Structure 1
Amino acid sequence: MERPEPGTVIVTATGDGRYTQKVTTATHELLVDEPVQVGGADAGPNPYELLLASLGSCTAITLRMYADRKQIPLRKATIRLRHDRIHARDCEKCETESGMLSRITREIELEGDLDDEQRAKLMLIADKCPVHRTLSAEIAIETHETAR
């Protein structure tokens, strides 16, 4: 299997299951699949779980980097995430006014001998993680077919 250059991801069917995909990066491989109840083999997390994992891990890493740099006694951050769909009219902060939209709920548990000011600052920093910024911004996805 071809290894992509850093920053590129290759996704290809494994042939082992109806929806099972192998994700290959420059240095890692993992499986992605759908649950059995929708016809998958449950050989790995589903695409939305990976999306949540990206946001959660980026949040935790950003908090760790900031705490280390500012010498804040953060022992551990645990991030719990959930994705669902809501009616746009039920979203106070959203530009979309009709139809359905995606909502990600993120809960952050901070452990350590932190004062109120440090906790507040860490919660602000959580929204500055690069994946959060990417998901919150307009995204242009360009799709091209490559030659065989």
Structure 2
Amino acid sequence: MSAHILEVAARSQWTSGVQTVNRIRDFAPFVMDEPAALGGQNEGPNPLEFLVASLNGCKGVMIPLIAREMDFKFTELSFASEGVIDVRGLMGQEGISTHFQSLDFQVTIRTEESDERLKALEDAVSARCPIYNLLREAKVALRTHWRRA
């Protein structure tokens, strides 16, 4: 395998209802479940909530990585994401997407850098963030907002 290829993997076991126990590398197992309103026991976040958290985490990797490349200084960084899903698609209604219809993503950053440098960081992160690009290429309506702390 090429040194430029990264493989990622997870192992999951269905337990009951709509719940799975998931294992990634050597980390503690974690539960994915649905709220009671969707047939679950509400014992863990659902897969789409993990995806929204993955977007936050991916930006939390890419922003510092690219900022370092740009010699861009910041002292605080936080994220908030919120997606909208039409559950009729999940329940099998034809013509309704089963994934996010839209997703709002907010970055709050404390920096003394110029607006131009901040915009350059935002553009580079959008171009290189794998989870963001996965969602964008799935044609999810992404609304991204960067603001200063």
TM-score (norm 1): 0.69
Cα distance per residue 1:32-83 (max 9 Å; x no partner): 1111333322211111101111111111210111112222112232121111
Partner of 2:67: 67
Partner of 1:55: 55
Report the AA paired with residue 13 of structure 1. W
Q: Give runs of ≥4 in structure 1 deviating > 3 Å.
A: none
Cα 1:9/1:111, change in 2 over 3 Å: same
Cα 1:32/1:130, change in 2 over 3 Å: same
Which secondary structure state, in structure 1, belongs to the residue aligned with residue 133 of structure 2? helix
Which secondary structure state, in structure 2, belongs to the residue aligned with residue 42 of structure 1? coil
**Is there any run of 5+ residues in structure 2 with no aligned partner, and where?**
1-6, 87-94, 139-149
Indicate conservation of the 8 Å contact 1:35/1:42, yes or no.
yes
Indicate conservation of the 8 Å contact 2:82/2:105, yes or no.
yes
Cα distance in 2 for partners of 1:54, 1:73 equals 24
Identity of aligned residues (%): 20
Which secondary structure state, in structure 2, belongs to the residue aligned with residue 127 of structure 1? helix
Cα 1:109/1:36, change in 2 over 3 Å: same
Cα 1:127/1:33, change in 2 over 3 Å: same
Which secondary structure state, in structure 2, belongs to the residue aligned with residue 48 of structure 1? helix
- In the TM superposition, 1:60-139 aligns within 5 A as 60-85=60-85, 100-101=96-97, 102-128=101-127, 129-137=129-137
Cα distance in 2 for partners of 1:65, 1:76 equals 14
Report the AA paired with residue 105 of structure 1. D
Cα 1:7/1:136, change in 2 over 3 Å: same
Task: State the shift of 1:117 in Å.
Answer: 1.6
Cα distance in 2 for partners of 1:55, 1:122 equals 17
Worse overlay, 55-64 or 105-114:
105-114
Partner of 1:3: none
RMSD: 2.3
TM-score (norm 2): 0.69
**Is there any run of 5+ residues in structure 1 with no aligned partner, and where?**
1-5, 87-98, 139-148
Indicate conservation of the 8 Å contact 1:83/1:105, yes or no.
yes
Indicate conservation of the 8 Å contact 1:62/1:125, yes or no.
no
Partner of 2:91: none
